[in-house]
Chain A
Amino acid sequence: MTEQTTTPDTIGAADAPKWSRYKYPESLYKHGTLLLILLFLGYSLHFLNVDIGLLIGALGRFAGVVSDRYYPPDLEYVLDWGYLASILDTLQMSFLGGFAGVCLAIPLAWFSAWNVSPNRRVLFPLGRLGVISCRAIHETIWTILFVSVLGFGMLAGVSALTMFCIGFAGKLFADEIEAIDMGPVEAMRAAGASSFQVFLFAVVPQVRVAFTGIAIYTWDVAFRAATVVGFFGGGGMGWYLKRNVQQLENLRVAAIILSIIVMVLIAEFLSGWLRAAVNRAK
């Protein structure tokens, strides 16, 4: 048997070893998928009859509408005590909803993480179902549902935000749990620990920092959702927005939207800073 070695002389020879990144079936799937996506995009544009020309002029018209009807914003209105109190309400709603949501999301995430789930036949599907059903329904629809059951006000808003946060944090928590190092889990199981003890000793220390970061992020997102929740009767500043939109008080609407942007920016900045601090505290 003669050993075939690659030397500069054999490169390009008929029997030289060949290599290509994508072999036949994979290359077909890859390019076929890409082609299908592009085709569908083109079809959607055609089917919806999107008028590109209208889109190009939209920015100019948008600026016109804003300067005609929404300028100058009625800042006096948003500096009124009643409105400032509603900002505080919104903040409290997002805190309560975020806190309750995160607390409920932790056990659900534990159940629905395949690697450490205390019971794969019953609790795992239940946990998954819980998280998925919370995610499946949009926060505005949760609000409408809770308002119809609990009536207008903060309680409906907080409940809706709680459901939203369970879905949001539960999924992220479960993903985080499924990515842990299984070594300590094995060690705790080998020592005769129960599922709960395994969770406490082998899982929690590994995900604590990530969970804190996710919890802060959840609050940040919940705050944004809280402004919309109010619009549908959940209390807080969204309620003012709805009333003024309906009364065509455009200058007040402009001021309210400005205040929402400012608050969201503050929340985003705060949550970013807190998460960075938590990461440093490893």
Chain B
Amino acid sequence: MAVLTVKDLKVRYSAKGPEILKGIDFEVQDDDFLAIIGPSGAGKSTLIRCVNRLVEPTAGSIRLLGEDVCSLNAKALRNLRRNVGMIFQEFNLINRMSVMDNVLSGRLGYTGNIRSFFRAFPQDDVKQALYYLDRVGLSDHINKRADELSGGQRQRVGIARALMQRPKLLLLDEPTSALDPKISREVMALIRDIARELKVPALCNIHDVQLAKEFCNRIIGLQDGYKKFDGATETMRDADLDVIYEMEVL
């Protein structure tokens, strides 16, 4: 069953600016771990940000979890975003807050304004946070400030924060680009295992083709706003990569 259906998606950031996405169609099934690959500037980040409307699409339609994303008002959009966990290239943690508060901030969509003012999250949320922190291997760092952690540990905080939303879809925006190759592999493996465990589909921007082949069951290739490839990982040939990157692939 399709969790996400994108049809003829077009984006430009300003009326006279260049078109970043020029008509993209794809679907994410409920058991997909889908990679989006492509050279820098192909529109990968823009595409993934359209799904939860961090970027406003110019034209086209997006159906996510049975709702038409583009027609939602502010309140309905916030409710939909609660169901979509997002993990970022630069982690986007709140550096001056503790690891625990960072993870709990994943529950803000379900927490009232007054509770969030006092950071008085319900006990169930705290228990859940402790569980996920343990699951990503950070039990010893709960009270540290986020900026005291290493890159790999910070991304694990990012993962735990996204899981706190009990997401029905994970959006991963270059989750490993800021990490070294060994830790990249560990983090990707962790995300894939958790996604399988919780039966959550994932949509993952990634520029490392090797990692995409290793961890993802399907691959979409973008180039300059056009979709150049869409298929199961095993069906991708070097010739397809040549088209996506328009250059020799190592």
In whole angstroms, how far apart are the Cα atoms of A193 and B86 in the complex? 13
The yes or no answer to B23 lying at the interface (CB within 8 A) is: no
B105 within 8 A of A: yes
> Would you give the shortest CB distance from B107 to chain A, in whole angstroms?
8
With a cutoff of 8 Å between Cβ atoms, the chain A residues found around residue B96 in the complex are 205-206, 208
Interface flag for A184 (CB, 8 Å): yes
CA distance A206 to B93 in the complex (A): 11
Do A184 and B93 have beta carbons less than 8 Å apart?
Answer: yes
Whether A186 lies near B54 (C-beta < 8 A) is yes
Interface 9-residue window, one of B77-85, B204-212, B214-222, B231-239: B77-85
CA–CA, A193 and B81, complex, Å = 9
Q: Write out the residue numbers on chain A whose beta carbons fall within 8 Å of the beta carbon of B143.
A: none
* Residue A194 is within 8 A (CB to CB) of chain B in the complex: yes
- Give the docked Cα–Cα distance between A183 and B146 (Å): 14
Task: Bits for B76-103, please: 1 = Cβ < 8 Å to A, else 0.
Answer: 0011111011101011111111000000
What number of A residues sit within 8 Å (CB to CB) of B?
19
Partner of B88, one of A186, A205, A206, A208: A186
Say which one of B57-65, B108-116, B128-136, B185-193 lies at the interface with A: B108-116
Between B96, B97, B162, the greatest number of chain A beta carbons within 10 A of the residue's beta carbon is seen for B96
SS class, residues of chain A in contact with chain B: helix
Q: Which of B78, B80, B85, B162 has a CB less than 8 Å from the CB of A194?
A: B78
Closest B residue, CB atoms, query A209:
B96
Is B46 interfacial (CB 8 A cutoff)?
no
Count chain B residues whose beta carbon lies closer than 8 angstroms to a beta carbon of A.
Answer: 34
A196 within 8 A of B: yes
A186 touches B92 (CB 8 A): yes
- Which residue of A184, A192, A196 is within 8 Å of B109 (Cβ)? A192
Mask of A179-203 contacts with B, CB within 8 angstroms, 1/0:
0000110111111111011001110
Could you tell me if B79 and A191 are in contact, using CB atoms closer than 8 angstroms?
Answer: no
Inside 8 A of A205's CB, which chain B residues have their CB?
94-97
CA distance A162 to B232 in the complex (A): 65
B52 located at the interface, meaning its Cβ lies under 8 Å from any Cβ of chain A in the complex: yes
The contact of A200 among B86, B90, B116, B162, by CB within 8 Å, is B116
Instruction: Tell me the bound Cα distance from A193 to B90 in angstroms.
Output: 19
Q: Does B165 contact A (CB under 8 A)?
A: yes
Chain A residues within 8 Å of B, Cβ to Cβ: 183-184, 186-194, 196-197, 200-202, 205-206, 208
24 inter-chain pairs at a CB distance below 8 angstroms, sorted by A residue, are: A183-B88, A184-B92, A184-B93, A188-B108, A190-B84, A190-B86, A191-B82, A191-B85, A191-B86, A191-B107, A191-B109, A191-B162, A191-B165, A192-B81, A192-B82, A193-B116, A194-B78, A194-B108, A197-B108, A197-B111, A201-B94, A201-B116, A202-B94, A206-B94
What are the nearest 6 A-B pairs in CB distance?
Answer: A192-B109, A192-B82, A183-B92, A187-B92, A193-B108, A192-B81
